[in-house]
Structure 1
């Protein structure tokens, strides 16, 4: 375009016409640049929306799968609970009629304890499958965390685990259902303690976040363990899935359910230094 203007000057065109021509070319260039920038922005938005759609589809698929599984599990839980009540009654009658010093009394006590453990499992299944009434209130996160840590302190002490709470905003207040969020934090921190092993570190972070306008609060629990194998990442919140020798595999499934009840999001990643990090985002 510059060459065309130079040629125009050589042909004796008036300076006023040349200025008008330069203005036209300048406006054309600016318009072209704006159109290109709009195109780039549109491309980025298409990529973002496609990723968001894939994420929503994954969530929908998971909810459909869990709904079917939950319906089946709820039916099983009720069928199991009915005979458990009778078994517990007969075990109690045996313990009442036996001398506390006898070996039979000890056997009856073990039976009773086993029934109680089975009942706890049934309760977990029902917690996972039933609709949860989320009664939110504004709570200082620090007091919520202190209650959880006080409750699990013996487990932390036994394994000589160091708790790093330096990333917790002392002024942070969260709008949550207190008992539900206590259960979420208890489960995540205990999992982190077990993953660390002797002398590990559990890092807890909690603060307001502006990374996503949909979620105002970000809470994370990270450990210094070996992390989660990539092939298991997609199953970590599935009910009855566990890599432990003990447990029902319902802990993280219930955590996911309770966070979802708050309108929140929970994800898991492996940290750069090894170990896993669970991140909760809340509105």
Structure 2
């Protein structure tokens, strides 16, 4: 933004300078040309007055000769023609008697008016001698245009210097203005990015920039403070619920265990059923707390190696799979890296593997596949957990990501809700597909590491387990 503001202001200053300097330069150039031509015509008329005394009044040509000598000393050329176009007096240089000069003489005698013509570096002026209605001759004056060109060059040089100085000042002003406006906005943008990454205590500076930007920063800080208070409040409620629910459940379970040790007959059967319900209630409470933590958590993403985490979780769940006679396998070519909150990939895999092991019967198989792919939100990694269990009906798949939304669930019905929450909170997506040949496939599209935020060369991504 700073660059765009600076370039916009600089372009405006450049246009204004061009619109002001160029017309002024043209005007001053025309003024210099008019002044130079007027001076040449005045000198030609003075020469014509001296020639009239000689041609009309038949006086000696002393004054005429003096003017011709002065003209030659000043670097000009002059000549006097009679009514027949014959040269009666001239300077030693031949410019005033050239073909161009004779053409101007003929035009002057025909039109009875002063004629001027510039050819190359010389200005030639021809003016009638005597009355304009009855000229007795023509005076021709040729002057070099070098002084005019020099003055014109000086004018344009000064104007160019003024333009360059104005452009430099405009550049400084535009950069200063752009930074004054852009830096506070960049600070608000950085603060919003850090807030989205989980830094709830971040605030934007609200003491610099235009008034509108300061108000924006103040509004952002108010929003960030309220968000921080809400998240901390939810976390506090989660901690309180965890303490309040787990303690009585543990005490009740211990009492039932003591009673079951001495119970016989029908009492033992009833107590065993009560113990199963208490165990189910404990799992349900644990699932609710896990879902609440997932909803309240604001991830701070870090680069995570998918193949390493998948291998680690497969190893951790191998004993459970072996006990249930289920085969676990993984395939992660290309060593993909994703950008997730610390520990989130482990939670995703644990919930997916737990759900799959609950659903797949003995002799079944579960595969975890990960590969780089163009996800719906941009470059990323596609993580697939494929099982060959009974699968889900289309109606169950449509509501499986909601809490207790799957009526066919064998567990608490919260695992897929936690998976969906963790995936979307990290900027990814989650969906369910039917496995070819029967079963269920959970597909997660996880974001790749943004450019410039990946691990340093030669340094592996962070481990989150």
Alignment TM-score, normalising by the size of structure 1? 0.59
Say if 1:77 and 1:122, in contact at 8 Å, map to a contact too.
no
Task: Calculate the aligned-residue CA RMSD, in Å.
Answer: 3.8
> Higher RCO, 1 or 2 (CA under 8 Å, sep at least 6)?
1
Which residue number corresponds to residue 260 of structure 1? 424
Say if 1:77 and 1:125, in contact at 8 Å, map to a contact too.
no
How far the C-alpha of 1:85 sits from its partner, in A, is 2.9
Distance in structure 2 (CA, Å) of the matches to 1:171 and 1:248: 34
How far the C-alpha of 1:79 sits from its partner, in A, is 6.8
Say if 2:321 is the partner of 1:156. yes
Name the CA shift for 1:254/1:211 in 2 (closer, same or farther; >3 Å): closer
Which residue number corresponds to residue 247 of structure 2? 85
Deviations 1:63-93 (A, max 9, x none): xxxxxxxxxxx98996796365356458769
Which residue number corresponds to residue 51 of structure 1? none
How far the C-alpha of 1:197 sits from its partner, in A, is 1.4
Distance in structure 2 (CA, Å) of the matches to 1:151 and 1:218: 22
How far the C-alpha of 1:195 sits from its partner, in A, is 2.9
How far the C-alpha of 1:211 sits from its partner, in A, is 5.3
Unaligned runs of 5+ in 1: 1-73
Distance in structure 1 (CA, Å) of the matches to 2:437 and 2:425: 32
Matched residue SS, 2:370: strand
Which residue number corresponds to residue 51 of structure 2? none
Matched residue SS, 1:228: coil
Which residue number corresponds to residue 121 of structure 1? 284
Say if 2:410 is the partner of 1:225. no
Say if 1:215 and 1:281, in contact at 8 Å, map to a contact too.
no
Which residue number corresponds to residue 405 of structure 2? 241
Match of 1:146 among 305, 311, 325: 311
How far the C-alpha of 1:281 sits from its partner, in A, is 0.3
Moved more, 191-200 or 254-263: 191-200
Name the CA shift for 1:279/1:82 in 2 (closer, same or farther; >3 Å): same
Moved more, 255-264 or 210-219: 210-219
Which residue number corresponds to residue 274 of structure 1? 438
Where do residues 14-93 of structure 1 align in structure 2 (5 Å cutoff)?
A: 82=244, 85-86=247-248, 88=250
Which residue number corresponds to residue 3 of structure 2? none
Distance in structure 2 (CA, Å) of the matches to 1:91 and 1:163: 34
Distance in structure 2 (CA, Å) of the matches to 1:213 and 1:248: 31
Say if 2:398 is the partner of 1:250. no
Name the CA shift for 1:194/1:122 in 2 (closer, same or farther; >3 Å): closer
How far the C-alpha of 1:114 sits from its partner, in A, is 7.0
Which residue number corresponds to residue 149 of structure 2? none
Number of aligned residues = 206
Alignment TM-score, normalising by the size of structure 2? 0.38
Moved more, 272-281 or 115-124: 115-124
Name the CA shift for 1:122/1:78 in 2 (closer, same or farther; >3 Å): farther
Distance in structure 2 (CA, Å) of the matches to 1:149 and 1:180: 16
Structure with max Cα Rg: 2
Unaligned runs of 5+ in 2: 1-235, 448-465
How far the C-alpha of 1:208 sits from its partner, in A, is 0.8
